[in-house]
Chain A
Amino acid sequence: MTKRNLPGITEDELNETLHAWMDPGARSLSEPALARSMASVHATRQVPAWRTWRGMALALRTMRFAGITAAVVLIAAAALVLGTRSFRNPGVVGAPATTAAASPSPATVPTPSTPATSSPVVRATPAVTTEVLSGTVKATGATYDVRYAHVAGLADPAAAAAINKVLLDQADATVRDFTSGIGTDPQAGPDQPTVAQADFTVAYGSPDLLSLRITTYTMPSGAAHGSTVLTTYTFDAASGRRIGLVDLFLPGSGYMDALVTEARAQLRATLSDWVSDSAGADWLTTGTAPTADNYAAWAITPGGLEITFSQYQVAPYAAGMPVVTIPATHLAGLIDPTGPLTPIAAIPLPSVTVTLGIYSGRPDPAWTLTDVQVAALVGQLDSLPVATGTAPQDGLGYHGFTILVQRAGQPDQGLMAYRGAVSGPGDAPGTYRADAPRAIESALLDTGRPRLAAAEVAMVEADLARQ
């Protein structure tokens, strides 16, 4: 008998509807996801049974029976809570790489980090151009588009040749891995294309130093999301030799401990949503442990030492690839006086005041960035590619962030970040710096969140969602 509960929809109809709605489309855990999970499992230590809450409860009953004092119980509980619990998730998947049509040409764009005088950074050299390897795997239709850097204009052509060989080898390896691996996935088709893309940005360029970030993105057919890997290369531009992280610091300086401390402090602030529980905190702690692997993706920027953590390294996929920039001045005393960080540490970071353009007829909210925020902003600004055209104009409501850069003994410099463009009086005519993901505006909004009203934040977020 049909049970009628409300006019129109019976209880049976509701049950049938919910069953039918739930039923379609079986879900399965993809092999890459399983592999990532098992990689994490292999890196995770099991909690001994006696240290679980259940084990503790059993022990407690036994102790009570034996008349052992509560102090012993408290010590054991502390051991449980404070004991090492490894939670490592070293996967490298992430969001698609941002691709730029051409390599950055910072020579024409002075940035707040680069004083007009006294900077050791001569932006005209080395000249970095973009080369492309692209093609299609005929059997599957999978496509690849690998853009890599080609260096010229160094004093020693042999140094340029050595650098270019490394970069070409990396690009070749990306194509080879793709065309012999997931590019041959028979499930690939026009509806779910399998793709590989790679692109690069210049983190720092001078006659002495070249630091590059290479982002490689692959999207296997049918996967829930693609995989992104960030690889970094830093070269001694005079010799063509690749520089290692250890080369930046004095022997025995204990630099790794300083990196860990700085990274954890910054990540705990920016990833607060994900590290609020013990599992999240463990995840971050393990992913920032002092190992070379955890700090492999480092680059030098005009702001200092930039470290990128891969997806799943310190937080879940949704956290993206977190980046920390450690001002070179924070590493004073540790860095090698003859190493590449020294000239950067010698230039004090500027003072930066940000104003959110949102009101008309009343003062806009403004705030000053911390040195860590300035270092990150400087690195971001310096890597933006130059675009031709006119930067978007101010609109009603939210109309951009004004960035006021002040350095002792130099004229103030003002920049505007709005709708994916960063522009200022130093731009060549008809050009601006392109920031299609609107990362600068998002980062500036984050720096202002503690001071801004909820309605102000919402207005900017609504505009950012238009990208």
Chain B
Amino acid sequence: MHPSVVDRAQHGDTEAFESLAREAGGGLMGVAFRILRDPAAAEDAVQQTLVTAWRELPGLRDPERFDAWLYRILVRACTAEARRQGSRRSAVREVSPTALADTNAFGRIADVDELERGFRRLTPDQRAVVVLRYWRDLRQEEIAEVLDIPLGTVKSRLHHATAALRAALEAEARPAPIKERLA
């Protein structure tokens, strides 16, 4: 993300902004989809993000931090979208067919369905932290900057989220009770 392009966009250059949007679009969709688990909702969130970013871009003081700023807007849009989904939607969600097919990638412990269910039980804030950590490969300090929250909050959310996902996987991997095994 070249700072001069951000600077041009800040001064109303829509072509410059389109090149920024094109460059960031894939990453934004990746994060939004992984948080929301619904391609249409993800697209809505990204669209909302781009429009909000354009509108408020003149207020960004440091063009070097455009990426972090953009993802902060995205996570807020995803949180709002998830809230709306919760109150309105009961649509069928998409589960990555690649993930379902490639179960070997998860070794002996993985069960995609359990992970999917466990992930859906997380709050949108927790999901965002998990996605930024495990998909964007951001360090905890970087996550704190992106989300504009204290480092301790990042650690706490990550801890609770991974504990919940671990519990989901453990439940699946746990041997059946003796009575069931004997039956």
A interface residues (Cβ-Cβ under 8 A, vs B): 5-6, 8-9, 13-30, 33-34, 36-38, 40-42, 44-49, 52-55, 85, 87, 89, 224-225, 273-274, 277, 279, 312, 316-318, 465
Answer whether A20 and B110 are a contact pair too, CB < 8 Å, given A25-B99, A26-B30.
Answer: yes
Is there a chain A Cβ closer than 8 Å to B51's Cβ?
yes
Is there a chain A Cβ closer than 8 Å to B105's Cβ?
yes
Q: Is the CB of B102 within 8 A of A24?
A: yes
- Enumerate B8-26 residues with CB–CB distance to A below 8 Å: 12, 14, 17-18, 21-22, 25-26
Q: Is the CB of B50 within 8 A of A23?
A: no
Q: 6 smallest A-B Cβ distances: which pairs?
A: A52-B59, A29-B25, A24-B98, A22-B135, A224-B39, A27-B29
* A9 proximity list for chain B (CB < 8 A): 109, 166, 169-170, 173
- Would you mind naming 21 contact pairs between A and B with Cβ atoms under 8 Å apart? A6-B166, A9-B166, A17-B169, A19-B134, A24-B99, A29-B21, A30-B43, A33-B43, A38-B18, A38-B21, A40-B50, A46-B54, A46-B56, A87-B55, A224-B39, A225-B39, A225-B40, A277-B80, A318-B44, A318-B88, A318-B89
Closest Cβ neighbor of B33 among chain A residues: A27
Q: In the complex, A307 Cα to B169 Cα: how many Å?
A: 51
Answer whether A316 and B44 are a contact pair too, CB < 8 Å, given A8-B173, A26-B26, A29-B28.
Answer: yes
Q: In the complex, A415 Cα to B90 Cα: how many Å?
A: 29
* A44 proximity list for chain B (CB < 8 A): 51, 54-55
Is there a chain A Cβ closer than 8 Å to B52's Cβ?
yes
Q: Is the CB of B44 within 8 A of A47?
A: no
Answer whether A54 and B61 are a contact pair too, CB < 8 Å, given A24-B96, A85-B55.
Answer: yes
Q: Is the CB of B51 within 8 A of A41?
A: yes
Q: Is the CB of A37 within 8 A of B47?
A: yes
* A20 proximity list for chain B (CB < 8 A): 105-106, 110
Q: Is the CB of B51 within 8 A of A87?
A: yes
Q: Is the CB of A317 within 8 A of B29?
A: no
The majority secondary structure among interface residues of chain B is helix
* B140 proximity list for chain A (CB < 8 A): none
Tell which of A15, A89, A279, A317 touches B40, judged by Cβ atoms closer than 8 Å: A317
Is there a chain A Cβ closer than 8 Å to B41's Cβ?
yes
* B169 proximity list for chain A (CB < 8 A): 9, 14, 17
Q: In the complex, A45 Cα to B51 Cα: how many Å?
A: 10
* B51 proximity list for chain A (CB < 8 A): 37, 40-41, 44, 87, 89
Is there a chain A Cβ closer than 8 Å to B174's Cβ?
yes
Closest Cβ neighbor of A40 among chain B residues: B51
* A19 proximity list for chain B (CB < 8 A): 134
* B112 proximity list for chain A (CB < 8 A): 21
* A317 proximity list for chain B (CB < 8 A): 40, 43-44
- Enumerate B82-115 residues with CB–CB distance to A below 8 Å: 84-85, 87-90, 96-99, 102, 105-107, 109-110, 112, 115
Give A98 Cβ to nearest chain B Cβ, in Å. 17
Answer whether A274 and B130 are a contact pair too, CB < 8 Å, given A17-B110, A279-B52.
Answer: no
Closest Cβ neighbor of A465 among chain B residues: B90
* B97 proximity list for chain A (CB < 8 A): 25
Answer whether A27 and B57 are a contact pair too, CB < 8 Å, given A17-B115, A273-B84, A273-B87.
Answer: no
Q: Is the CB of B50 within 8 A of A37?
A: yes
Q: In the complex, A48 Cα to B51 Cα: how many Å?
A: 15
Q: In the complex, A87 Cα to B77 Cα: how many Å?
A: 15
* B87 proximity list for chain A (CB < 8 A): 273
* A312 proximity list for chain B (CB < 8 A): 47
Q: Is the CB of A33 within 8 A of B47?
A: yes
Give A232 Cβ to nearest chain B Cβ, in Å. 26
Q: Is the CB of A41 within 8 A of B26?
A: no
Q: In the complex, A411 Cα to B107 Cα: how many Å?
A: 72
Closest Cβ neighbor of B25 among chain A residues: A29
Q: Is the CB of A41 within 8 A of B14?
A: yes
Tell which of A8, A18, A277 touches B170, judged by Cβ atoms closer than 8 Å: A8
* A5 proximity list for chain B (CB < 8 A): 166
Tell which of B14, B61, B130, B170 touches A38, judged by Cβ atoms closer than 8 Å: B14
Q: Is the CB of B135 within 8 A of A52?
A: no
Q: Is the CB of B59 within 8 A of A53?
A: yes
Q: Is the CB of A13 within 8 A of B109?
A: yes
Identify the interface centre among A16, A25, A26, A27: most chain B CB within 10 Å of its CB. Answer: A27
Q: In the complex, A8 Cα to B107 Cα: how many Å?
A: 12
Q: Is the CB of A40 within 8 A of B47?
A: yes
The 0/1 profile, CB within 8 Å of A marked 1, for residues 35-72 of chain B is 00001111110111011101111110100000000000
Tell which of A28, A46, A53 touches B55, judged by Cβ atoms closer than 8 Å: A46
Q: Is the CB of A37 within 8 A of B59?
A: no
* B135 proximity list for chain A (CB < 8 A): 22-23
Closest Cβ neighbor of B41 among chain A residues: A318
Closest Cβ neighbor of A35 among chain B residues: B18
* A48 proximity list for chain B (CB < 8 A): 58
Answer whether A41 and B17 are a contact pair too, CB < 8 Å, given A14-B169, A23-B135, A87-B55.
Answer: yes
Q: Is the CB of A8 within 8 A of B134?
A: no
Give A132 Cβ to nearest chain B Cβ, in Å. 29
* B58 proximity list for chain A (CB < 8 A): 46-49, 52
Tell which of A6, A18, A27, A273 touches B130, judged by Cβ atoms closer than 8 Å: A18
Q: In the complex, A46 Cα to B54 Cα: how many Å?
A: 6
Q: In the complex, A44 Cα to B58 Cα: how many Å?
A: 13
Q: In the complex, A372 Cα to B10 Cα: how many Å?
A: 45
Give A86 Cβ to nearest chain B Cβ, in Å. 8
